[in-house]
Amino acid sequence: MQAEPFPDNWTYLKVELNWLERLLLTAVARQRKETREIDRVAKTAADRATSHWWKGIVSLEGQIAHDSPVERRKSNPSEAKGNYHQQIEARIRSSQQQGIELALPALCDRLSLSPFEKNLILMGLAPEVHRRYAQLYGYLQGKESERSDLPNVDLALRLFCRTDIEWRAARSSLTASSPLIQHQLIKLLSPTTPLLNRSIKLCDRLVDLLLSDSVRTPQPHHSESASFSTLVLPESLLTDLKHLCHQIQFCVQVDEEWGFQNLDTGRLPGIVALMVGAVGTGKLSAASAIAQALNTPLMQIDLAKLTPLEQADLMGTIVRQAPTVLLIKSAEIGLSRTSPMNQFHQFLAARRSSRSLTLLSVRRLPIIGQRLRSQIQQTLQFPMPDRAARLKLWQQAFPPQAPLSDIDWNELAKFSLTGGEIGTIARSAAFFAAADSATLEMKHLRQALGKNKLSASRQPSHPS
- CA nearest neighbour of 284 among 271, 300, 296: 300
Give the alpha-carbon dihedral of 367, 369, 370, 371, to 10 degrees: -140
In the sheet with 378-381, reading across from the earlier edge strand, the strands are: 221-223, 298-302, 325-329, 357-362, 271-276, 378-381
Name the 3-class secondary structure at 65. Answer: coil
pLDDT digits (tens, 9 = 90+) for 259-305: 887 887 677 889 999 999 999 999 999 999 999 999 888 999 999 88
What is the rounded average pLDDT of the residues 435-458? Answer: 79
d(Cα 69, Cα 75) in Å, to the nearest integer? 17
d(Cα 340, Cα 177) in Å, to the nearest integer? 8
Contacts of 204 (CB under 8 A, 6+ apart): none
Considering Cα of 17, then 19, then 23, then 28, what sign does the dihedral take? Answer: positive
Query: Please, what are the domains in the chain?
Result: 9-49+82-211 (no CATH), 221-381 (3.40.50.300), 387-458 (1.10.8.60)
Q: Which residues pair with 199 in a beta bridge?
A: 152
Instruction: Quote the mean pLDDT of the chain.
Output: 82
Which value, in Å, is the radius of gyration of the alpha carbons in the chain?
Answer: 31
Strands 221-223 and 298-302, by their bridges, are antiparallel
d(Cα 422, Cα 427) in Å, to the nearest integer? 9
Per-residue confidence (pLDDT) for residue 67, from 0 to 100: 45
d(Cα 92, Cα 228) in Å, to the nearest integer? 50
d(Cα 135, Cα 127) in Å, to the nearest integer? 9
pLDDT digits (tens, 9 = 90+) for 355-407: 999 999 999 988 888 888 889 999 999 999 999 999 999 999 999 999 999 89
DSSP assigned state of 380: E
408 alpha-carbon distance from chain centroid: 48
pLDDT band at 181 (very low <50, low <70, confident <90, very high): confident
Give the alpha-carbon dihedral of 209, 215, 218, 224, to 10 degrees: -140
The H-or-E segment that residue 248 falls in is helix 235-249
User: 101's torsion region: left (phi>0), alpha (psi -120 to 50) or beta?
Assistant: beta
d(Cα 411, Cα 398) in Å, to the nearest integer? 16
Is the pTM higher than 0.85? The answer reads no
d(Cα 309, Cα 179) in Å, to the nearest integer? 10
d(Cα 248, Cα 272) in Å, to the nearest integer? 11
**Exposed/middle/buried for residue 233 (C-beta within 10 Å: 0-12, 13-18, 19+):** buried
- CA nearest neighbour of 327 among 275, 375, 377: 275
d(Cα 461, Cα 454) in Å, to the nearest integer? 14
Inform me whether the pLDDT recorded for 335 exceeds 60: yes
pLDDT band at 339 (very low <50, low <70, confident <90, very high): low
